Structure formats: C-alpha cells, structure tokens
Structure 1
C-alpha cells in the first residue's frame, strides 16, 4: 500500500514538472505575447486619435464612422442616402434646429452653400438646387443616435467639370472686413497659429444679427484642399465670438453666416495659419 502511494506521488511530481517545463518552453518561444497584443491595441487607439477631425463645437471626433452617407446629383436635385454599419437606417438627433446640415462648396472654394435637406423616405434626404457645371465637395453634418460619426468630404460632379481641389491658389486676405447686402462685418483676431486656441471675434457694424438655427451665427472652415472640415458656433448666445483651433499650418477659407431680417449673409475670409 505504502509502495503504491509512493509511486503515485512520484508520478504526480513528474507530471507537474513536465507541465512546468512545457510552459517555460512555450513562453520562451512566444515572448511577451500578452504585452504584444496590448501594444497593438494601443497603437490602433493612437492611430484613431491622430486621425481626428474637426466638427461642430467639440472640434475633434474620431474618424471611425458607423454611418456612411452617399451623395448624388441629378436633374437639379441632390440626394443623400444614410446607412449605418449594419446596413440599417440610422435615427438622427436634432442639431441646431435641424436634423441635417449639408455643406456644398465648389472645388475652387468660390461657391458655398449651407442647406438643410428634407426627408424624402427612410434614410433618404433631398435638396433642390441648380448647380452650374463644376466639381463639388459635400459635407453631411449629422448626429446619429447611438453611433459614432465623422464628417468627411465627398466629391460629386455636375456636368463635365473635373477641377481638383489641390489646384486652388488661395491668397490670404490682407484686410478682414467684408460688406454683403449693405451690412459690414469685420473679423478681429490676434493671430492664426497652429495648435493654439484661436478666438474669432466678428464685429457686426451698427447691427445685431437675428438668431439663426439656434445661434447668432455659424462659421464653417475648410483647408485649401477642401478636406479638413470645421463647423463652430458662438461661445455664448449673445455674442458673435467663436473659438477654434488648427492642427496644421496652411491656407484656410472660412465662411461666417449671420442673419439680418429674412436674409442670411455669408462672409468669406481667406486666412493663413502659421507655425
């Protein structure tokens, strides 16, 4: 009896030793496997952060989008179709009194439109507009419920035009004062520097804008390639002061929208952001 117990004990010790040796051999052949997995995850998270995109008052959002818009133009009408990552129709939240803010610019950044397309079916929105022959960039600015979303440029063409954004030759304005429909607005700021909070103070001469889409004004900014999109609102309900920042130096064009009576004036400015 004692002999069988001794044999069983020795067998258990030998088996345990084999397991320990086997684990050490596996670990030596696969060093830091768990650490490597964690490192990959961290790299992916860092990549997502580095590919941030400006949008609305929060300025920065992930480039990962769970909702994909499609934009097309035919017979004087723009059609926007929305589908989420599961190929379903996403539900939208109201943002500044509208479910959708739809920005269209011509490839030379000379033509600018801010639309609010009407719903025409499940996930389908339409906007009637007569656009001259050109290449355009469109930005679908929405807030889908329960999904991540990033505003990205989408190119579409009207007619046979095929003008590329990178061909633009924008020159920064020397004076930041514009008069549209008899109303003058001056952009006042200390400087335009990269990675610095920039205050855009719009002096509306001898007037006060009327509330427009839940604010006293709206500012949309694009880089000269029409790729980086920034949409900001005033810092307070009673001010025409905006705050934003720029990740990269370069030439940018901004459009400031202010409403006077029934008229919405759009004031374009070309700025240079320096290091």
Structure 2
C-alpha cells in the first residue's frame, strides 16, 4: 500500500472533498444554533406571556371578588332594611289588633254585665256621689270614687290606696264591692285616659269627685290592656302628665275600678 503524506493528501482531490464536507458541517451547525436560538426566544416570550396572563387573571379574580363583596353587602343592607321595616309594620299591626281585641272584649264585658245587672239597682245623679261612685256623662262609665285599698264609709273616703301588680289588680277589681254593685273590673287604657285632661293636672270630672291616693296624689294606675308585643307587660296611665306606657306586670301601681254604668 502506498503511504501518502499529509501534504500529498491536501494536494490531492480528496483535499477539496474534505474541505467541502467540513464547510457543510459548519453550515449545518450554524443553522441548528440559529434555530435553537429562535426556539429559545419563542419559549422565553411564551413564558413571559403566560406569566402576564396569570397576573392578569389574578387581578381580574381580585376585582371580581371585590365587586361580588360590594354587591353582597349592598344586597344584605337592603334586605336588613326590608326586614326592619317588616318588623315595624308587624309591631304596628299587632298593637292595632290588640287594641281592636281589647275593644271587642270590653264590648262583650259590657254586654254581659248589662244582662247580669240587677234590674232594681238604680243610682240617680243626685245620690250617686253619696254612694261613692261617679257616672261620666260623656262615656256612661261608672267610676269608683275611691282607689283599691280605700274604703267608702258614711259618705267619706277612708284609708290609703294600695299598689298592686297587674294580676292582683284584676282580682281586686273582681272582688270589689261598692254601691251595691259587684261587676267591677280593671279599666282599659282608653277608658282610663277618658279621665284625663291635657291642659292641666287632674281628672276630667268635677273637682273633688274622684279621690286620689294620699301619699302619691297623681300616681300611676294599671289598665286592663296588656302590651301586644310582650305578654309580660301591660299599659298604665299617669295622671300627673297624661303619660301612658307599658311596664312589667310584676310592677305595682294604683288601681281604680270601673263598670259599665246603668
């Protein structure tokens, strides 16, 4: 075999083929590197775009959540207002219903008492005061001139008025006896207020007709009207200022009995 030296190799036709092959390899390598750079740049841009998209999605999510919270709060406020309005209306209607119920009960009581009233019992205006009662000409109600705890004797008011809780007040009126009558009852709130006059202190009746408690002349008096919104409360009336409010039935106030008159 013939041994060719390196100079002989490069001076031969093989030299050109080797150089061409080498240049071809270099060209391929450069193209691959360029493509690789392009792909890497595209990947980098894609990652940046994805990152921006994720950030935008997070911002949108936060914005949507804030809007949802605002709408929820606004809706809750409107709902609470509606509930409060409905509760106010309910309380108002309850009071109106209770007032109507009380009027109906008073009417029934008057009818029953009228049917049970002794036919021979008659009190004329000239002797009613002497028997310890006063008939209001405007309402026809017969009022005891004395409060529960006081006694009518020999045409005079004797003793001091008692303060009782609400249930005891009803029972005391039921057991009360005066002027030959035994159908006395605890007056309703509206009935008690007919005794009031707004322009000055006192009762809407002639001076000295109704005797007040000695210790507390213008004290509070129980009415037979329970408070519609709470069965543990009932209405009372103060005769010093015409003020009427509801109190726990365990509280103690004065009591004045009434009946439906002739």
Q: Which has the larger radius of gyration?
A: 2
**Structure with higher strand content:** 1
Normalized against structure 2, the TM-score is what?
A: 0.30
Higher relative contact order (CA closer than 8 Å, sequence separation 6+) = 2
| TM-score (structure 1 length as normaliser) | 0.29
